[in-house]
């Protein structure tokens, strides 16, 4: 279908006087230009002649040339641009339109905001045009333009910050930690509610962090991720679960098995059916959102995650990606070898940025490469993360599920949780039991009987029932989802 251009029937927002004041300040004071440079680029100017003048200023500063009205006019004349910008008289008018350069940043902010508004308008009209003329599906159009809108260069908040600003943030964080019994800043950490994992991660998952959960097939990666999702959703709020491996109905069966310790394939009595219904009713109150599209590119994944953040009124607190290696290439043909390794590295870098943007922890599940040694089984290390060495560089934490006895894979039994990388504390190891029949992990004994020197996260003075109920907000009868009790 032929694509026609839709004319924008609006006078796009702009402020010519503010643009002149910015340029006048830059012509009169190098420091004013350096401040403006952190806010504006030449494309932010509405008037083409103003963009041309700003580009010339940029070029002279880059070449270490002094800037005044005479040298600047000569430079434009050599470039053949002097008459195009209105001549020397117009340049003198611009230079004299400001009495002081102290307001340069203020005027630059005005120009930048109006530039952002014009970008939004143009992108919106491109969306209208594509919606009318394009053969793309509505879902693809939404994904495409969500990505474009999120990548618009909006008003800059980056650049250098004075050390005093960082120190002020550090003081606030220290105050929050001092109020906590375990020295953890609760504004920066999402406690999982599973005691061994909270101890292993020095309090829980840190906001803005990317965590990898890796293991062999049958080790229980998805089961532990589901259990974490239920626990975090019950304690903190909305959780997103992107399942690229299992459809939502299979996930639902696992949720039910884990929560109710029942085998969903063996419901043969009325009593069991009632228990099943009760568990479904209980689980339905958890704010867990599942996306099970099996062909998902990274850009679509990112778009869906940002949409969920909006859908949950900015309360999304945790995201699971199951499975990292199943994220599809943006290209039509599949990538293998080094190309696929590069792609996986890009996905982890992007997921890390997404975690920071959403201010939540993201847990990505990963396969392991087969071990090189064919003899004795050895615990996995970071080198066995499949398809990319960049995974270990980009993540904040990497947990490996390790089953020492190969015969127990897929059958359940003892598992070691090996923390091989951690940006927020020491590495370590914890033991749990994987109940494959009910798709859940359980403690080896009572979790509060661990070593005395481990933090108890405020549970030391309570009895067992109180400890669980305070931590999770659920009754002991609902504790299967948290993995606290071996029943």
pLDDT of residue 47: 93
Question: What one-character-per-residue DSSP string does 182-211 give?
Answer: TS--TTTEE--S-HHHHHHTTTSEETT-EE
Token readout for 355 is 């975690």
Q: Are 248 and 396 contained in the same domain?
A: yes
Q: Are 121 and 75 contained in the same domain?
A: yes
CATH code at 343? Answer: 3.40.50.300
Give the closest residue to 395 by CA, choosing from 432, 344, 441: 344
Q: Are 275 and 333 contained in the same domain?
A: yes
pLDDT at 101 over 70: yes
Give the C-alpha distances (Å, rounded to integers) separating 464 from 202, 436, 454.
Answer: 22, 25, 17
Q: Is residue 141 part of a domain?
A: yes
Q: Is residue 160 part of a domain?
A: no
Determine the average pLDDT of the residues in 160-176: 72
Residue 283's CB is within 10 A of a number of other CB atoms, namely: 20
Token readout for 317 is 């607190």
Q: How far apart are CA 189 and CA 353, in angstroms?
A: 17
Write down the mean pLDDT value for the chain: 82
Q: Are 292 and 338 contained in the same domain?
A: yes
Q: Are 91 and 225 contained in the same domain?
A: no
Q: Is residue 159 part of a domain?
A: no
| High-pLDDT (> 70) share of the chain, % | 80
pLDDT band at residue 201 using 50, 70 and 90 as cut-offs: very high
pLDDT of residue 16: 94
Which is more confidently placed, 447 or 284?
A: 284
Domain residue limits at 324: 178-481
Q: Are 136 and 264 contained in the same domain?
A: no
Q: Are 143 and 267 contained in the same domain?
A: no
Q: Are 414 and 338 contained in the same domain?
A: yes
pLDDT of residue 264: 65
- Computed on alpha carbons and rounded to an integer, the radius of gyration of the chain in Å comes to 29
Q: Is residue 168 part of a domain?
A: no
pLDDT band at residue 112 using 50, 70 and 90 as cut-offs: very high
pLDDT of residue 404: 84
CATH code at 44? Answer: 1.10.860.10
DSSP class of residue 478 equals: G
Domain limit, last residue, from 150, 169, 202? 150
DSSP class of residue 479 equals: G
Q: Is residue 334 part of a domain?
A: yes
pLDDT of residue 454: 55
Q: Is residue 4 part of a domain?
A: no
pLDDT band at residue 314 using 50, 70 and 90 as cut-offs: confident
pLDDT of residue 478: 38
Determine the average pLDDT of the residues in 6-33: 86
Q: How far apart are CA 286 and CA 215, in angstroms?
A: 27
Contact indicator for 457, 191 with CB cutoff of 8 Å: yes
Q: Are 95 and 193 contained in the same domain?
A: no
Q: Is residue 161 part of a domain?
A: no
> Kindly report the CA angle at 269 between 263 and 275, in degrees rounded to 5?
60
Q: Is residue 412 part of a domain?
A: yes
Q: Are 67 and 208 contained in the same domain?
A: no
Q: Are 142 and 193 contained in the same domain?
A: no
Using the structure block, give the residue that is written with the tokens 């975690």: 355
Structure pTM? 0.69
pLDDT of residue 200: 94
Backbone torsions φ then ψ of 431, nearest 5 degrees:
-105, 140
Domain limit, last residue, from 130, 150, 170? 150
| 241-278 per-position pLDDT tens digit | 999 999 999 999 899 989 888 876 776 667 777 888 88
| 114-127 per-position pLDDT tens digit | 999 999 999 998 99
Q: Are 281 and 420 contained in the same domain?
A: yes
| Total structural domains within the chain | 2
Contact indicator for 411, 438 with CB cutoff of 8 Å: no
> Kindly report the CA angle at 347 between 341 and 353, in degrees rounded to 5?
140
pLDDT at 332 over 90: no
């Amino acid at each position: 279908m032929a694509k026609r251009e839709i004319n924008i029937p609006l006078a796009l927002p702009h402020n010519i006087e503010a643009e002149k004041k910015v340029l006048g300040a830059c012509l009169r004071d190098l420091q004013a230009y350096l401040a403006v440079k952190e806010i504006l680029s030449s494309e932010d100017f509405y008037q083409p002649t103003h963009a041309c003048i700003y580009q010339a200023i940029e070029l002279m500063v880059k070449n270490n040339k002094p800037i005044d009205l005479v040298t600047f006019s000569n430079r434009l004349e050599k470039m053949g641009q002097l008459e195009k910008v209105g001549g020397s008289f117009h340049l003198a008018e611009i230079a004299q339109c400001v009495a002081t350069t102290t307001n340069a940043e203020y005027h630059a902010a005005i120009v930048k905001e109006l530039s952002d508004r014009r970008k939004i308008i143009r992108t919106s009209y491109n969306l209208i045009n594509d919606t009318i003329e394009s053969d793309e599906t509505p879902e693809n159009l939404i994904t495409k333009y969500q990505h474009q809108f999120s990548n618009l260069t909006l008003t800059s908040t980056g650049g250098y910050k004075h050390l005093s600003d960082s120190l002020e943030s550090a003081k606030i964080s220290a105050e929050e930690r001092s109020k906590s019994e375990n020295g953890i800043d609760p504004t920066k950490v999402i406690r999982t509610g599973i005691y061994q994992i909270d101890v292993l991660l020095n309090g829980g998952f840190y906001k803005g962090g990317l965590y990898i959960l890796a293991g062999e097939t049958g080790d229980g990666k998805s089961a532990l991720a589901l259990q974490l999702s239920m626990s975090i959703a019950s304690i903190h709020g909305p959780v997103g679960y992107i399942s690229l491996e299992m459809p939502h109905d299979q996930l639902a069966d696992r949720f039910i098995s884990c929560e109710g310790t029942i085998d969903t394939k063996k419901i043969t009595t009325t009593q069991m059916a009632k228990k099943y219904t009760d568990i479904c009713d209980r689980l339905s109150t958890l704010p867990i959102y599942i996306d099970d599209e099996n062909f998902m590119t990274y850009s679509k994944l990112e778009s869906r995650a940002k949409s969920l953040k909006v859908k949950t009124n900015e309360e999304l607190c945790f995201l699971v990606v199951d499975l990292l290696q199943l994220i599809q290439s943006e290209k039509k043909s599949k990538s293998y070898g080094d190309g696929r390794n590069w792609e996986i590295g890009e996905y982890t870098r992007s997921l890390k940025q997404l975690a920071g943007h959403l201010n939540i922890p993201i847990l990505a599940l990963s396969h392991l490469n087969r071990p090189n040694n064919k003899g004795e089984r050895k615990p996995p290390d970071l080198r066995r993360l499949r398809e990319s060495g960049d995974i270990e560089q980009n993540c904040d934490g990497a947990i490996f599920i390790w089953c020492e006895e190969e015969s127990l894979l897929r059958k359940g039994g003892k598992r070691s949780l090996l923390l091989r990388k951690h940006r927020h504390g020491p590495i370590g190891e914890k033991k749990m039991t994987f109940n494959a029949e009910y798709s859940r992990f359980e403690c080896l004994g009572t979790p509060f009987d661990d070593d005395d020197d481990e933090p108890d996260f405020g549970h030391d003075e309570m009895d067992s029932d109180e400890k669980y109920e305070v931590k999770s907000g659920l009754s002991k009868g609902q504790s299967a989802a948290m993995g606290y009790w071996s029943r």
